[in-house]
Amino acid sequence: MIHPRSDQEPEIGFAARAPEPDLRDPALYVNRELSLLEFNRRVLEQAKDPATPLLERLRFLTICSTNLDEFFEIRVSGLKQQVAFDVASPGPDGLTPIETLQRVSVEAHALVDEQYRVLNEVLLPALEAQQIRLLKRAVWTPRQARWIRRYFNQEVLPLLTPMGLDPSHPFPRILNKSLHFVVQVEGEDAFGRDSGVAVVGVPRALPRLIALPEAVADGPNDFVLLSSIVHAHVDELFPGMNVTSCHQFRVTRNSDLWVEEEEVDDLLRAIKGELSARNFGDAVRLEVASDIGDEMARFLLEKFELGPADLYRVNGPVNMHRLAAIWELAARPELKYPPFVPAVPKRLSQATDVFDAIRRGDLLLHHPFESFTPVLDLARAAATDPNVVAIKQTLYRTGSDSPMADALLQAAKNGKEVTAVIELRARFDEAANIDLATRLQEAGAKVVYGIVAHKIHAKMMLVVRREGRRLRSYVHLGTGNYHAKTARAYTDVSLFTCDRELCQDVHDLFQQMTGLGRVTRLRKLKQAPFHLQHDLLELIAFEASEARRGRPARIAAKMNALVDPTVIQALYAASRAGVEIDLLVRGICCLRPGVPGVSETIRVRSIVGRFLEHARVFHFHHAGQDLTFGSSADWMQRNFYSRVETCFPILDERLAARLRDETLETYLEDDTQAWVLEASGKYARAKPHAGLRRCAQVDLLARFSA
């Protein structure tokens, strides 16, 4: 435990003279949902930035769209549930759930309108100028139209099932985020029915973007949307009838799994049962073609039990994410980020024995600038080394066809004692994690699904190896998941160590997760849900006490989200004492910096660039001791109270200094991809420095490629 110094020097500084503000005043907090929408605005700005390669701009646009899908599936659905249950209590920002929903609707509609404006007025014309075209029905040549008709008849029509609506054919169950058309027709069918309305669902097995073959294309990269193909030939689904209108629509549903963990005896079976229900949760948003009539829009809203505020009219494909396929299909590398080869530290690249390399001293990796391969190498070496007797690992997200999973399966087959703590409730990865858990169990590994009411979010691997007459432990601790693909797209930190106390802490934590026993104080690791928040508050309070005594005091921290009001209040108090505080918060930030008398010394930046900023790194000056930590946890209530998290110290002073430089100071100098949070809760681009502009991610790529 870290305690403040006990010397009795008098406290000085402006905080003692300033009137005491109420640090719980709602005016001092940004609404978390509105802050998340602000983050998506910053992502959208990348799509508008001419300095970003063109195909990457399209990719950022589709990422913004996908983020918004999840926002509705999880956050908006949660707000709607609170309103349905008459939850009226406001959050720290003072807004009630219904007030938040109203504000969210205004902001989300504006964001969606801007997305489609950017698509239609900016990106599609820019892509066409580069001979990458998304062809609308009106511009198909006769030769293209003939090929598309053949494609429809051969590949699409056999899979379509139009549903005419009448008393024996009620409105069908619509799968979450699936593509459908609502069609109005005139005339009687073969059975004398004249309902006038049908629904056409488009199977997910069909590709949503089709590249025209060279024989009919007018350029090297001509594409057609499946929605355009179906729309052009929808009359063939209703022979003898007159189609008067056809409009695409998509409904977004509540996708948060609900499992009453204390009431089930098998969590895996319960989650399996809930996965199918996710596709048919309560509707929360309806997207329709912009030219749909008001009467038909009201008809669909009524069927999904939604109100006018839940309707989003869009001028383009209802699922913009499908356009991401253009990035993959267009062979135009000059319109993408240049490729890079992640570096490997010399000690690891020249080592024939990864265990020997770790014994020679702690190792730090900064992904994706440095390769994730050494993490896989440790697992693979442990799986085949005859001296390794046990491997324990937490798994939150690994991805499909995971090399990390393959290593653990091989270790189990080789007779190692393999323990995998798999978090089944990793949102949207539940099915993959269930499959992994099943395969590991079949291979003979011990599989634990976590702890009731607590997600296992810590990233830890423990390898126990017999060396002579003793057992030695080796540990990997990380800020990111054991996911080889995202390790090339997310910035994260890995630490390899065989420090005896850190290894014992990791061992104790695994014992705690898999067995039974009281909470014990760890030696060097900080752990949620028991001590992490308390320890962080102590560290913040110590900086405040130093500042009051007129001594240097500074906090610099990087994270994905800052939400916890208790920590925010502690940061406000530290700022009032005079602590210099620099925060790099990629996504949600509920703190308001720069408020006179409250947060004047706090600066908040968000970096949005090529790589998703995912690392959590915390630094405290601590009277010149320069305490630096990596962590799996953001500063959110869920991380402090309802997740198992780790916060690990960087004990080697040289590595700690390097980590501060690469993850904090370099990013604080960024004036290219940085956004500065204002007291209003809005973000503005960082002002460029005099002279050469700095881009942290580009600088780090250059540094590690040298």
Which are the catalytic amino acids? 457
Which run of H or E residues covers position 198? strand 197-201
Which tokens is 492 given?
């994260």
Which tokens is 474 given?
């080796």
Length of the chain: 706
User: Residue 200's beta-bridge partner residues?
Assistant: 162, 181
Instruction: Give the DSSP per-residue string, 5-43.
Output: ----PPP-SGGGTS----TT-GGGB--HHHHHHHHHHHH
Instruction: Give the DSSP per-residue string, 419-474.
Output: EEEE-TTSTT-HHHHHHHHHHHHHHT-EEE--BTTBEE---EEEEEEEETTEEEEE
DSSP state of 364: E
**Whole-Å CA distances, 501 to 305, 377, 470, 572, 651:** 57, 24, 16, 34, 11
**Whole-Å CA distances, 659 to 29, 94, 527, 611:** 30, 38, 21, 17
Rounded Cα distance, 348 and 357, in Å: 6
Which tokens is 581 given?
């505080």
Nearest to 459 by CA among 493, 427, 504, 431: 493
Rounded Cα distance, 182 and 288, in Å: 10
Taking only Cα atoms into account, the Rg of the chain, rounded to an integer number of angstroms, comes to 28
Sign of CA dihedral 353, 358, 363, 366: positive
Residue reference for tokens 């406290």: 11
Nearest to 177 by CA among 296, 281, 291, 297: 281
Residue reference for tokens 């229900």: 277
- For 222, the 3-state DSSP assignment is strand
Residues with Cβ within 8 Å of 134's Cβ and at least 6 positions away in sequence, in order, are: 124, 127, 223, 224, 225, 323, 326
Q: Strands 674-677 and 602-607: what pairing?
A: antiparallel
Instruction: Give the DSSP per-residue string, 533-598.
Output: HHHHHHHHHHHHHHHHTT---EEEEEES-B--HHHHHHHHHHHHHT-EEEEEESS-B-B-TT-TTT
Q: Which residue type does 627 have?
A: L
Rounded Cα distance, 495 and 446, in Å: 25
Rounded Cα distance, 244 and 417, in Å: 67
Which tokens is 601 given?
């010394």
Rounded Cα distance, 40 and 34, in Å: 10
Nearest to 395 by CA among 366, 435, 343: 435
Rounded Cα distance, 157 and 160, in Å: 5
Residue reference for tokens 């370099």: 666
